[in-house]
Amino acid sequence: MSMSIFAVVGYAEPWYIQIVKSLILFAIAVQIVPIVLLAERKLLGRFQHRYGPNRVGPFGFAQPLADIIKLATKEPFRPSTAIGFLYGLAPIISLLTALAAFAIIPFGDVANIFGEEVGLYGIDVGIGVLYVFAFGAVAFYGLMLGGWASGSKYSFLGAMRAAAQLISYEVAMGLSLVGVLMTAGTLSLTQIVEAQSGMWYVVPQFVGFLIFVVSAFAETNRAPFDLPEADAELVAGYNTEYGGAKFASYFFAEYVNILVVSGIAVTMFLGGWLLPFGIDPPGFVDPFVVFAKIFLFVFFFVWIRATLPRLRYDQLMSFGWKVLLPLATLNALVTAIVVVATS
Amino acid sequence: MSTDVTRWIPADDTLVVQRAPQPGGAGGAYRAFGETLRGLKTTMARVFEGPKTISYPEEKVPVYPRFRGRHRLHRFEDTGLEKCVGCSLCAAACPADCIRVVAAENTPEHRVSAGERYAAVYEINLARCIFCGYCEVACPFDAITMGHDYEMSDYNRSDLIFTKEMLLEEPLERTPLRSEGE
């Protein structure tokens, strides 16, 4: 068997379909982020006895459009202390890695569309979830370089916090998925979903699920782990000095990241496109099932944001290293023993 | 010679501070989990209560009868003469010094008010008015009262100087009124 430097790909279409597919995925991401944005602001309003945005367009549906036009038409500026090249590059790194990670979420099995066999996902690589972590690790350069290249103290503090937080919680996040990977016996996300046809992994891997969700909040810099941004103390953390389209890129990347972690959680724990009780709809329903589950997660993200106050920095660190990491390790250990004992 | 002053005993002043339970190991984690769920329940209950916002330009909070809004000047209902006699007591009472009155003599041919004199100029600078209602109290003829209108914003400062004609006009009923006990 010849070794390839590339990862094994489960199912690959002809090149032209792959290009079309990537464009469609990009379009979907661009379309969904404003919806999530508006949904978050409206929900947050309801959680606080408010309406949320309801002035632009019917029920405020044009609000994200207005926001985007506002940001895109702003004057591009940068502080005189900024390092120009890196200052411009950092948001692009964040955006690119977020969108690249979005490609791996499976929205369905291989489907027949206009006589072509098309997998309803960006790419089905054999390394599966490692791909997400790889891009998550690169995404951290986006925050770090952005904060550092801004030449501002607040930005730098935010970036340092982001770096420490992402490193700490990525460990727990990775380990929380090990249980699932061992139970499924594969890294490929589509195969993990298919392995859940009997029972979703949220039941046997409940501890892993909890750890994953908590570290997902930390990985996406969301409340209660929004220390890198911490509006009250750091102004806005790593993106303090960003405005206009560059800020929009960061913002966009943040929301794509939320979609990605939600998608991973849905794939790994909530059975992806599978429905419970033996309901088996035709293939074209699968992406909608996945999106419904993702939006359930997004709702949970907003709910948590409306509920929990921000952690103190030492609490964040000790929680990550002293609680989540041992728990995740223990979970992996117990799962390994159970898998070996029952096989 | 003894110093017979009441001695201060520190122990009497110490307060017993009740502290939250220390975050323990497994018990602490269990408690934190439970409290998080309780918090989630609390915020979700807010969603079901619905928004408390009053969408202002469409919905307005009714004002009370004694609400001190924009002033208005009055006429006698039977004769149509102005009640204001140009005594300037309102201007003297005004702490913000926003009322300007210039009085003139009534003549048989030109009778404006019921008294000897009338206000030839009566201006209130609403940009300076603090809506204290002292003018209303000072007026011996109830010629000036505070209305219920509070929507007076304008684009120009000079537009906020209300003249006698503007103050004498029947105000637009723009604000809902509620009864005293409501």
ipTM score here? Answer: 0.72
Is residue A160 in some structural domain?
A: yes
Q: Is B57 on the interface with A (CB under 8 A)?
A: no
Size (chain B), residues:
182
Cross-chain Cβ contact A51/B39 below 8 Å: no
Query: CA of A51, closest CA in chain B: separation in Å?
Result: 6
Is residue A3 in some structural domain?
A: no
- Token pair of A315 as six digits: 């609490």
Is residue A195 in some structural domain?
A: yes
Is residue A6 in some structural domain?
A: no
Q: Which chain A residue has its CA at the smallest distance from B33's CA?
A: A210
Total domains, chain A: 1
Q: Is B40 on the interface with A (CB under 8 A)?
A: yes
Is residue A5 in some structural domain?
A: no
- pLDDT 10s per residue in chain A (343 long)? 455 666 667 666 777 777 888 888 888 888 888 888 898 999 999 999 888 888 888 888 888 889 889 888 988 888 888 887 888 888 888 888 988 888 888 887 776 666 667 777 777 777 778 888 888 888 888 888 888 888 888 888 888 888 888 888 888 888 888 888 888 888 888 888 888 887 888 778 888 898 899 888 888 888 788 877 766 677 777 788 888 888 888 888 888 888 888 988 888 888 878 777 767 777 677 888 888 889 998 999 899 988 888 888 888 888 888 888 888 899 989 988 988 888 7
- Token pair of A284 as six digits: 């074209």
The boundaries of the domain holding residue A205 are 15-342
Cross-chain Cβ contact B51/A303 below 8 Å: no
Measuring CA to CA, how many Å separate B23 from each of A165, A224, B26, B30, B35? Answer: 22, 18, 9, 10, 13
SS3 content of chain B, % helix, strand, coil (to 5): 25, 15, 60
Taking the CA atoms of residue B171, residue B175, residue B180 and residue B182 in that order, the dihedral angle to the nearest 10 degrees is 160
Is residue A277 in some structural domain?
A: yes
Is residue A92 in some structural domain?
A: yes
Query: CA of A9, closest CA in chain B: separation in Å?
Result: 41
- Identify the three-state secondary structure at position A152: coil
Nearest to A223 by CA among B91, B49, A232: A232
Residues of B in contact with A50 (CB under 8 A): 51-53
Cross-chain Cβ contact A304/B42 below 8 Å: no
Contacts of residue A39, Cβ cutoff 8 Å, sequence gap at least 6: A295, A298, A299, A302
